Structure 1
Amino acid sequence: MVVTGCSVMSRRRWPVSRHSASMAGQSADTGMVRNRILLVGPGFRFLGGLSVYTCSLANALVETHDVSVLLLDRLVPRRLYPGAARVGQDLTSLRYDPRVRMVGNVDWYWGSGIARLSAWIQDAKPDVIVLQWWTAASLHTYLLIARIARGLNIPVFIEFHEAQDTGEAAVPGVARYGRSFLRRLVRECSGAIFHNEHDRESIADLLGPEVVRQIPSRVAPHGPYNHMTALGSTIENRHRSGGGPARVLFFGLIRPYKGAEDLIAAIDGMTPEQANGLVVDVVGETWENWTAPAEAIAASPYRDRIHFENRYVSDSEATGFFARADMLVLPYRRGSASGPLQAAMSNGIAVILYDVGGLSEAVRDYPGATLVAPGDIPGLRQAILEVATRRDSRYPNPHTWAPLAGAIDALVAKSRE
């Protein structure tokens, strides 16, 4: 059934009769506890990193748990979204596993269907609800879901991806609104998941240590992104790169904190001989009117060696860029996690990044990572030239989704004590 502002599928989509309403089910084959998990996160209409994350996590969890997903469809009024021109376009190859039960969609303006969502949660009564946190645009919906869950004695966990989007935090009043009501949301939750210790400390600094300490928390690293990994890409790279230029990739949204212009500055400082040994791909959609990278590329003495794809590319196109790349360069000025970084590690290519935030922890166990001091353009240049000498090397990705599943299970167990 579809209603204004919210569509909720039939409650029969979650066969509650398979499990006790108060206990998780058990696999007949392994005896493993199968918690009934309701994930809440963004859908594909406003496609972004968290859309990809929510789908990837659901598809990983469904191997060992019973998973349902409630998607935030229209996050904000379309005219306010930086990528408004592509809203609704099918740019991703990702699809939800058929075993994942789709509860429905919720829009920012709710509509009368929000009552049906409440009825669905009451009827299905999942063992846990996991909220993906990254933007204040979801706050009012998350608060409502958390309060519905509290009334039904269902634990709610909040999974932090960052404190608040940097762009929306710059809008007058939004940062204060996000900080104030995020405190309320955390107080409604029974647990929290962070991707690294840096994020846990940052959230504690933002909300106050007592707010974070009041609930159990776990740290679990971001899982891998395998959907942009081309079969045989390593063979393609080895065959292509012999004797040819090394291919440098910057990939992702072009925003002030992403530092794409630092990459261009590093290239500009090379000798002609050094620059002739490289080809650079800068691929991404501009947000916040950040034109510094485009201006730097246009003014570069080596602009004929720089390919600028200034748009949000499809997954099939992205797969090609990663398959051809010998290294990914991410000179972020700050960062908690990075989808392009995960895609690069899944492809086994070298990564060069500034030693900032949670990104340092994300590559701690990745042998292909090179960390550079923040803002060190000569250091960035030297790292690129060094990696180019071993451009055929490929590295194993140490990351899996198992730590996230384990963190959820541990918090569920804690909530039952």
Structure 2
Amino acid sequence: MPADGPTRVVVVGSGWRFLSGISYYTCRLTNALAERYEVGAILMRQLLPTRLYPGRGRVGQRLNDLAYAPGVEVFDGVDWWGVPSLVRAVRFLRSFRPEVLVLQWWTGTVLHSYLVLAAAARLLGIRVVVEFHEVQDTGEAQHRWAAWYTRTLIRPLLRRTEGVIVHSGFDRVQLRSTYDLDGVPDEIALHGPFDHHDAVPVSPRVPDGTVRLLFFGTIRPYKGLEDLVEAFGRLPSNYTLTVVGETWEGWDRPASMIAESPAAGRITFVNRYVADSEVDGFFADADLVVLPYRRSSASGPLHIAMSHGLPVVVTAVGGLVEAASDYSGTTFVAAGSPSALVDAVRSASLNVGRRHTDPSSWEKSVAAFTRLFARMGVLPVGQDAVITASSNQTVPVLSPDLR
């Protein structure tokens, strides 16, 4: 730790041009770390050729309201072809001179850029930490050459890695069974709350017997939306369903099922990536959030739902069990079973009208990073126990919480 100030950290992750949940996570984590450390950010700007991106129609549109804290130095950003943006990113790194470089891992498209940044970090005496959101993106894993490329070239990156962050014990097992990380310390940092929007002022809804279900998030094969659409057709007529999400990977089956459902008249389908200004409205109108994932390491929509205090039905898969176990509004259900989903939704409907406390917080994430930094020798002994004030609203109210 430098004698004249706090430890310096640079976080590398998704920028706003290719907007996704990782864009929000990178910003929220960076701002949280800035409460304790001196922090900069390097954003991955043009992840890949726009025509290859599932959300190509909205690339570059300003849909986010969230911003980096005023004290955070931001380099925006790195383009996939590297020159001159990657050269400039290395210059930023050399100028900022952090003790730690934190690389967000969620897609193989950033791998070649991360290899360059990690090599530069080694030359500059900067420790490298990789935070894994999942071992490999599910869409990329389906393509043989993309999977081979990632699994092969990530190994040199991991050889330069001195610490690892994961979101759950499940992810830790998955990661260590996939890659040789002997001797590399790790810490579990549960996903922080997505409570960063201004809440829409609403009055408590007068009970009218209607139960309003919400599915929120990108529509991809592993999300299990088709299970929910099938289950919804078996629910009584006092249930309604709103599906809000952008179709990825050409996964049109849920859209076809919605159109053909006998309950189509009770389903609202918003098939796009909605702007931040719209998000709270959808959650304010919901009684119950349903997330029927077939697999998942983490879920931004789950954390939005918890930040709003809403009851949630979520499948007991992957890291979602650890993420939602301490949330009193959770009803777990087996994955891939529409009949079980019907029973879970009916059971969770008894929770409608109550608001629940979100157990997640960004100071817990900062504490996990601090423990890891101490184990890596970045911080002096005894500094790993200090936790700053919480960034999370933990007392739920009848109107939607900030997310």
Partner residue of 1:23? 2
Partner residue of 2:58? 86
Task: Write the mapping of 1:7-406 to structure 2, written as runs, cut at 5 A.
Answer: 23=2, 26=5, 34-207=6-179, 211-228=180-197, 230-233=199-202, 236=203, 239-270=204-235, 274=236, 276-406=237-367
Q: 1:133 to 1:241 in 2, by over 3 A?
A: farther
Q: Which stretches of structure 1, 4 residues or more, deviate above 6 A after TM superposition? A: none
The higher radius of gyration belongs to 1
TM-score by length of 2: 0.90
Tell me, what secondary structure is at the counterpart of 1:409?
helix
Tell me, what secondary structure is at the counterpart of 2:348?
helix
Contact 2:15 2:76 in 1 (8 A): no
Per mean C-alpha deviation after superposition, the further-off stretch among 118-127 and 128-137 is 118-127
Deviations 1:347-405 (A, max 9, x none): 00011011100011110110100101122222211121222233101100010011221
Distance 2:182 2:314 in 1: 31
**Letter of the 1:73 counterpart:** R
Contact 2:7 2:37 in 1 (8 A): yes
- The CA deviation at 1:284 is 0.4
Per mean C-alpha deviation after superposition, the further-off stretch among 343-352 and 183-192 is 183-192
Q: 1:64 to 1:386 in 2, by over 3 A?
A: same
Distance 2:4 2:139 in 1: 42
Deviations 1:87-138 (A, max 9, x none): 0011111111111111331111111343333233223310111000000000
Q: 1:105 to 1:87 in 2, by over 3 A?
A: same
Contact 1:194 1:217 in 2 (8 A): yes
Deviations 1:306-338 (A, max 9, x none): 000111111111111011111110110000000
Contact 2:77 2:89 in 1 (8 A): no
Tell me, what secondary structure is at the counterpart of 1:102?
strand
**Letter of the 2:56 counterpart:** A
Contact 1:258 1:333 in 2 (8 A): yes
Q: Per residue, is there more helix in 1 or in 2?
A: 1
- Percent of aligned positions with the same letter in both sequences? 45
CA RMSD of aligned residues (A): 1.5
Tell me, what secondary structure is at the counterpart of 2:181?
helix
Distance 2:207 2:238 in 1: 12
Distance 2:351 2:376 in 1: 49
Gapped runs of 5+ residues in structure 2?
A: 379-403
- The CA deviation at 1:240 is 1.8
Distance 1:122 1:59 in 2: 21
Gapped runs of 5+ residues in structure 1?
A: 1-21, 27-33
- The CA deviation at 1:299 is 1.3
**Letter of the 1:337 counterpart:** A
**Letter of the 1:242 counterpart:** P
Q: 1:24 to 1:144 in 2, by over 3 A?
A: farther
Contact 1:196 1:219 in 2 (8 A): yes
Distance 2:53 2:28 in 1: 23
Distance 2:163 2:27 in 1: 21
Distance 2:201 2:357 in 1: 15
**Letter of the 1:256 counterpart:** P
- The CA deviation at 1:277 is 1.5
Contact 1:264 1:296 in 2 (8 A): yes
- The CA deviation at 1:192 is 0.2
**Letter of the 2:275 counterpart:** S
